[in-house]
Amino acid sequence: MEQQPASDPSTAPDPRAASDPRAASDSRGAPDPRVARPPDPRAAIETVFRLESPRVIAAVARVVRDVGIAEELAQDALVAALEQWPRDGVPDNPGAWLTATARHRAVDLVRRRENYARKLQEIGRGLDPAAPPEEPADPDAIDDDLLRLVFTACHPVLSAEARIALTLRLLGGLSTPEIARAFLVPEPTVAQRIVRAKKTLATRNIAFEVPYGPDREARLGSVLDVIYLIFNEGYAATAGDDWLRPALCEDALRLARQLAALMPKEPEVHGLVSLLEFQASRTAARTAPDGRPVLLRDQDRRRWNRMLVARGIAALDRAGAVATGAPGPYALQAAVAACHAHAHTYEDTDWRAIATLYGLLAARTPSPVVELNRAVAVSMADGPGPALEIVDRLVAEPTLRDYHLLPSVRGDLLLRLGRTAEAKAEFERAAELTGNERERELLRARADECRPH
Partner 1 sequence: MPRYLSLVKIDEATAPAEGPSPELMQRMGELIEEVTKAGVMLDTAGLTPSAQGVRAHWEGGKISLTDGPFTESKEVVGGYALMQCKDMAEAIEWTKRFLKVHEEHWTVTCEVREIAEG
Q: What are phi and psi of 155, to 5 degrees?
A: -65, 140
Considering only residues 322-341, where is the footprint of partner 1 by CB under 8 A?
A: none
The rounded distance, in Å, linking the Cα atoms of 161 and 109 is 31
User: Following DSSP, what letter does each residue of 174-207 receive, concatenated?
Assistant: --HHHHHHHHT--HHHHHHHHHHHHHHHHHTT--
Contact window for partner 1 (CB under 8 A) among 250-258, 352-360, 372-380, 391-399: 250-258
Contact 249, 228 (CB under 8 A): no
254 binds partner 1, rule: CB under 8 A: yes
Q: Which part of the chain contacts partner 1 (CB under 8 A), choosing from 202-210, 247-255, 340-348, 415-423?
A: 247-255
218 is a contact residue toward partner 1 (CB under 8 A)? no
Of 31 and 240, CB closest to partner 1: 31
Site for partner 1 contains 36 (CB under 8 A): no
For the chain, the first-to-last Cα distance in angstroms comes to 64
Residue (264 or 385) nearer to partner 1, CB:
264
445 binds partner 1 (CB under 8 A): no
Question: Binding string, 48-87, against partner 1, x = CB under 8 A?
Answer: x-xx------------------------------------
* Choices 16-24, 26-34, 102-110, 114-122 (CB under 8 A): range interacting with partner 1: 26-34
Say if CB 136 and CB 58 are below 8 A apart. no
- Does 247 engage in binding with partner 1 (CB under 8 A)? yes
Q: For residues 60 and 82, give the distance between their C-alpha atoms in angstroms, rounded to a whole number.
A: 19
On whether the CB atoms of residues 193 and 162 are closer than 8 A, the answer is yes
Single out the segment in contact with partner 1 by CB under 8 A; choices: 111-119, 198-206, 245-253, 343-351.
245-253
- For residues 280 and 391, which CB has a smaller minimum distance to partner 1 in the complex? 280
Residue 257 sits in the site that holds partner 1 (CB under 8 A): yes
Q: Which amino acid is at 446?
A: R
Residues whose CB falls within 8 Å of the CB of residue 26, separated by 6 or more in sequence, listed in order? none
- CA–CA separation, 262 vs 210, rounded Å? 12
Give Cβ neighbours of residue 364 (< 8 Å, ≥ 6 apart).
Answer: 326, 328, 329, 332
CA distance 217 to 151: 12
Residue 13 found at the interface with partner 1 (CB under 8 A)? no
**29 makes contact with partner 1 (CB under 8 A):** yes
Pick one of 4, 47, 192, 356: the residue that binds partner 1 (CB under 8 A): 47
Is there binding between residue 9 and partner 1 (CB under 8 A)?
Answer: no
- 267/260 Cα distance (integer angstroms): 9
| Residues in 344-383 at the binding interface with partner 1, rule: CB under 8 A | none
Binding-site size for partner 1 (CB under 8 A) equals 35
What phi and psi, each to the nearest 5 degrees, are found at residue 436? -100, 125
When asked if residue 256 is in the footprint of partner 1 (CB under 8 A), the reply is yes
Find the binder of partner 1 among 6, 8, 23, 299 (CB under 8 A). 8
DSSP state of 436: B
Interface residue list for partner 1 (CB under 8 A)? 8, 10-11, 27-31, 39, 43-44, 46-48, 50-51, 92, 139, 143, 173, 246-247, 250-251, 253-258, 261-262, 284, 307, 311
